[in-house]
Amino acid sequence: MFSVAEYLITTFVWEKSFPLAFDFWNKLLELPSSTRWPSERVHQACELFAQNNGYTRHLANLLIHLSWCLQELIQASDDDQASIYKKAVNAMYIASVFLKHLIENGKSDNLEELHLSLDESKPVPHGFVMDQNIQNFVMHSLLSFIGSTEVRYELLNFMIVTMSIQLLSGPSPGPRDANPFIDAAMSLEKSLVFLAVRRLLLNYIFRTPPNAKGYLYSDGDSQAFWKELVLQLVATFVLLPLNYLVNNSGDGSKHPLAECSLHVLLILTNYHKPVMSDESLTDKSDDSATSESVSKEHVFSSGNTFSKALANARDVECEIFYLFYL
C-alpha cells in the first residue's frame, strides 16, 4: 500500500494534471522530509515526469507555488514562518530534482521540455495573470527574498540549479542560446539587483556558519530526502569548476552558505549574452568611390546589471569589515 508521500509524488509525476489552485499542491509541499527513495526510483520518477510535464505543466505550477511561498515569507509574522518555510523548502527540493533532469536530458535548443507556461484551459486563482512570464515571476520572487531577508542555503542551491542551463551553452553563450532563468534575472529592476548583490556579498564576507540561520528548517537529525537528492544529483554537475576555485584552501566546506553565495555571484556577474543586430553601414574605404551602404550583422553585449551592481558596491558594512582585516 502506498504511503501518503509515495502517493503524492507518484501523482505529481503521473499524467493527471492538477490546476494551480487545487489542494493537491498544499499537500505535496507539506510532506515530511524524512521520506527516502533509492536512486533508481528517483530516476524512474524523473523519466515519467519528463514524459508528462508537457501535458500536466506541473513544473510551472510548482515554480509558481514556490514563488508564492517566498512572497508570503517576506510578509509573514514569526508565528507563521515555520509552516511556510517548510513548504518553500519542499518546493525547492522537488523542483531542483526534476528541473535538473529536464535540463540534463533536454533535446531542443531552447529547452521547450521545461514547458514554463500554464494550460490555458485550467482555472487559476482570482487575480493571477495567466499570460505572465513564469521565469520572470520566479526570479523576481527569489531575488526579492534574497534582498529583503537572510539568505537560505536551500534557496541558493535552487538558484544554481536553475542557472545550470548555462552549461549547455559552454563558456561563451551565443545570441540564440536559451537561458530563461538567467535572462529573466538580467531583466529585473536595478534596485532589486543591487539589494540581492549586497546580501550575497555580505554572506561571503561574513562567512555565516552552518549552525546559524542559514537553513530554513530541520526535522530532527535525519537527512531530508530532497536535500540528499539535490546534493547527489546536482552539486557535482554544477559546482565542480567553482569548487576548485573556492575550496583550494581546504576549508571551503566549513562555510557552505558563503560558498553558495559566491557561486551565485560568479554566475550572475559573469553572464554576458551577445545580441545580434543588423546595421546598415556606409563603406568609406575608398574616398574617390561613391559611398556604398552595406548591411552587416553586428554583435554586442546585452549588458549585465549584476556586474554593474557589484562594481559599484559601496556598502559601509563591507568597507568596515575589509579595513578591520587588513
Q: Quickly state the pLDDT bin for 185 (edges 50, 70, 90).
A: very high
Q: What is the DSSP letter of 233?
A: I
Task: State the pLDDT confidence band at 190, using cuts at 50, 70 and 90.
Answer: very high
Once rounded to an integer, what is the mean pLDDT over residues 237-244?
Answer: 46
Q: Residue 203: is its pLDDT beyond 70?
A: yes
Between the alpha carbon of residue 255 and those of residues 85, 247, 249, the distances in Å are 22, 10, 12
Q: What is the pLDDT of residue 170?
A: 63
**Structure-block grid coordinates of residue 8:** 503524492
Statement: residue 241 has pLDDT above 70? no
Q: Whose CA is closest to 188, among 256, 258, 138?
A: 138
Per-residue cell: 69: 511561498
Percent of the chain at pLDDT above 70?
68
Is a pLDDT exceeding 60 seen at residue 244? no
Among 44-48, 79-83, 131-135, 209-213, the range of highest mean pLDDT? 44-48
Q: What kind and span of H or E run contains 64? A: helix 58-75
Collapsing DSSP to helix, strand or coil, 296 comes out as strand
What's the whole-number mean pLDDT along residues 21-34?
A: 88
User: Residue 215 — very low, low, confident or very high, per pLDDT cuts 50/70/90?
Assistant: very low
Q: How far is CA 268 from the centre of its chain?
A: 11
CA distance 265 to 307: 9
Among 53-57, 81-85, 107-111, the minimum mean pLDDT is found in 107-111
State mean pLDDT over 218-234: 42
59-75 pLDDT, tens per residue? 999 999 999 999 999 98
Greater pLDDT, 140 or 322? 140
Domain ranges of the chain: 4-284+292-324
Residue 285 pLDDT exceeds 70: no
- Give pLDDT, residue 210: 54
pLDDT tier, 119 (very low <50, low <70, confident <90, very high otherwise): confident
Please answer whether residues 190 and 197 qualify as being in contact, where contact means their C-beta atoms are separated by less than 8 angstroms. no
Give 14's DSSP letter.
S
Residues 6+ apart with CB under 8 A from 60: 115, 116, 117, 118, 134
In whole numbers, what is the pLDDT of the chain averaged over residues? 76
Please tell me the least confidently modeled range out of 8-12, 19-23, 40-44, 148-152.
148-152
pLDDT confidence of residue 42: 86
Cα distance between residue 32 and residue 55, in whole Å = 28
| Helix, strand or coil, per DSSP, at residue 279 | strand
CA distance 220 to 33: 10
